[in-house]
Amino acid sequence: MHAASGSSVKLRFALPSAALAPYVTTFYCTEAVCSPRTPWMEDYLHPEWANLRFLSGAETHSMIGPGEPQPCPDFTVTGPTSRAMRFRMRSGRCWGIGLMPAGWAALFAAQADDYADRFVDGAVDPVFAGFVPLARALAASDGDYAEELALIEHHVAALLAGVAPPDPAVTALSHALLDPELVAVTQLAERMGMTIRSIERLSRRAFGFPPKLLLRRQRFLRSLARFMLDPSLGWIGSLDCHYHDQSHFVRDFRRFMGMSPSAYAKLDKPILAAAARGRVAIAGQPVQGLHGGAAD
């Protein structure tokens, strides 16, 4: 319950099975109750990997980067992001599937960078046709959490049953990005035994962005995660060791979140705070971009 507004939000996260873990970060269900006095619940979501969201009539608006939030389709596909997503929702319930880069590469015949920093209607884009039956089934569901979770898991497993195993290069890059000591593309190339040009192509295809930006994003997310887990550290105490100084971090913060760290710290975070607690409890990380997948 949010005392100031009388609104409340409940988020439940579920880890995928071992067979799905290389492809999926978490499944999650959001239930928001907004008071008549505050009909919208609003928040900012940090950069993350791709997500599929099934809103089932829950009125939601979003905007990635600057601008006013726009209405979201009932089946919203959000590509990988490098900018904050401002979003708001009225009272309602929705499901989400967080995808690892290997999940995007396995499930969709499309470059991730074609969908980076934007969301689309999955019901009309043929790339996502395999999930349209799931969207319809969830929209027709009676709202039982366990039954819906089982439905989602079964559908994802069925789609993945007909695809090849995860691309080893995609998996290797995912885990390399979790290493805080890797800060340069040349280090990535050496670690993976690939040319920089090959890593560039792989990165854009499955991850949505060039590797240099991904490394910068991961450094930022590590710092943000520390602050989210323990705000008493302050921003200075949360900084990744590879930041040269506070101004270096502030530049990155403005690039990824569209505001200063101090402005962000003052914001109410009703959904993100609940999401961070739920994620840490089940996955050990407060942000999706730091999930390690199967080998975590």
> How far, in Å, are 8, 67, 276 from residue 264 at the CA level?
21, 17, 15
CA 101 and chain centroid, separation: 11
What is the tens place of the pLDDT at every residue in 192-237?
Answer: 999 999 999 999 999 999 999 999 999 999 888 888 888 887 788 8
Domains of the chain: 8-165 (2.60.120.10), 168-266 (1.10.10.60)
What residue ranges in 130-285 does DSSP mark as E strands? none
| pLDDT surpassing 60 at residue 2 | no
Q: Per mean pLDDT, which range of 80-94, 118-132, 175-189, 276-290 is the poorest?
A: 276-290
pLDDT, mean of residues 128-151 = 96
| pLDDT surpassing 50 at residue 96 | yes
Q: What is the mean pLDDT of the chain?
A: 92
pTM, to two decimals: 0.93
Distance of alpha carbon 214 from alpha carbon 82, whole angstroms: 8
Burial class of residue 193, CB neighbours in 10 A (0-12, 13-18, 19+): exposed
Q: How confident is the model at residue 293 (pLDDT cuts 50, 70, 90)?
A: low
Residue type, 60: T
Q: How confident is the model at residue 98 (pLDDT cuts 50, 70, 90)?
A: very high
CA atoms within 13 A on the CB side of 213: 18
For the record, the structure tokens of 225 come out as: 């995660």
Q: Under DSSP, is residue 64 helix (H, G, I), strand (E, B) or coil?
A: strand
Neighbours of 192 (CB within 10 A): 17
Q: What is the DSSP letter of 19?
A: T
